Amino acid sequence: MLSEEMANAYLTARIVSQRIVLSELQDLSVEDVKQAESREALRQRLISAISQILPTKPEWADPEPIKKVLFEEFVLQ
């Protein structure tokens, strides 16, 4: 969830960079996402990684616009 529409537009224009960050998910094991605390650590890791795509001096008001990462479902194989 983003708090800033300009940040959303910025990230949308850099979808390839986001996909590279999200490719980290491919390397996860069942154990990496089984426990709630592990999922929370993963959320924080993703927020940090995606935040690195953002500029150091953004054009929008909130310097940390990424507030949440929502996992709608996990497919564990």
Q: Tell me: the pLDDT tens digits for 17-62?
A: 777 777 777 778 888 788 888 888 888 888 888 888 777 787 778 7
Rounded to an integer, what distance in angstroms lies between the CA atom of residue 34 and that of residue 56? 34
Residue the block writes with tokens 């605390």: 37
Longest dimension (CA), the chain: 41
Rounded to an integer, what distance in angstroms lies between the CA atom of residue 51 and that of residue 30? 26
43 membership: H or E segment, kind and range: helix 36-51
Does the pLDDT of residue 13 top 80, yes or no?
no
